[in-house]
Amino acid sequence: MADCSSRLSAVLSRESETEALAAGLARLLEPGDVVFISGPLGAGKTVFIRSAARALGMRGLVTSPSFTIAQTYAGRRTIHHLDLYRLISFRDSDALDLEPYFGDDAITFVEWPERADDFLPKPALVVKLEHVDENSRRLSFSQIREGLEKGVEELVAGARH
């Protein structure tokens, strides 16, 4: 995996730009890929995942599963959406509860992965969203699996204008 976080980032000033980047990324993902999404509250993690899910054929409502921990959506591909924000501590026994969301042909998005770092599989991609100002977000991409780098580089270059 290439760690290209320092050069693979873009500052986006409109939600529609984040949506377009997420949709483009979703089209690059393969069955079984796991994508970590991190960033502070309100940075746009759920917007990113909702846009990716829609690009993968999901047509219903996509909300952050903060209280249920996980949601599964059907589209052209099964999509798992985990939100680990409410996990205060994580134990080996908790990892068993997450196992069904990894290892199948689904694409799994994990918000707040740092809450369970040692218990999660290696991601295909890590996306970090940060507030730049009231309207702008920096999206940084790292730990990019082999075969995904070129597509992510092109998406980021296109997003930078």
Q: What is the pLDDT of residues 75-98, one digit of tens each?
A: 888 999 998 887 766 655 555 578
Give residue 6's pLDDT: 44
Backbone angles phi, psi at 146, to 5 degrees: -60, 135
Q: Does 3 reside within a domain?
A: no
Asked if the structure places residue 17 within a domain, the reply is yes
On whether residue 62 sits in a domain, the answer given is yes
Q: How far is CA 5 from the centre of its chain?
A: 15
Task: Give me the CATH number covering residue 118.
Answer: 3.40.50.300
3-state secondary structure of 84: coil
Give the domain range for residue 61.
9-160
Joined tokens for residue 116: 């369970």
Binning the chain into helix, strand and coil, the percentages to the nearest 5 are: 30, 25, 45
Which pTM value belongs to this model? 0.87
Distance CA 152, CA 125 (A): 10
86 inside domain: yes
Domain count, the chain: 1
- 1 domain residue, yes or no: no
> Is residue 110 within 8 Å of 36, Cβ to Cβ?
yes
**Going edge to edge, which strands form the sheet with 107-111?**
9-12, 137-142, 125-131, 34-38, 107-111, 78-83, 70-74
Question: Is there a domain that residue 4 lies in?
Answer: no
Work out the pLDDT band at 5, boundaries 50, 70, 90: very low
Instruction: List pLDDT tens digits, range 12-61.
Output: 988 899 999 999 999 999 999 999 999 998 898 989 999 999 999 888 77
The reported pLDDT for the residue numbered 29 is 95
For residues 153 and 6, which has the higher predicted lDDT (pLDDT)? 153
Considering only CA atoms, which of 17, 10, 24 is closest in space to residue 160? 10
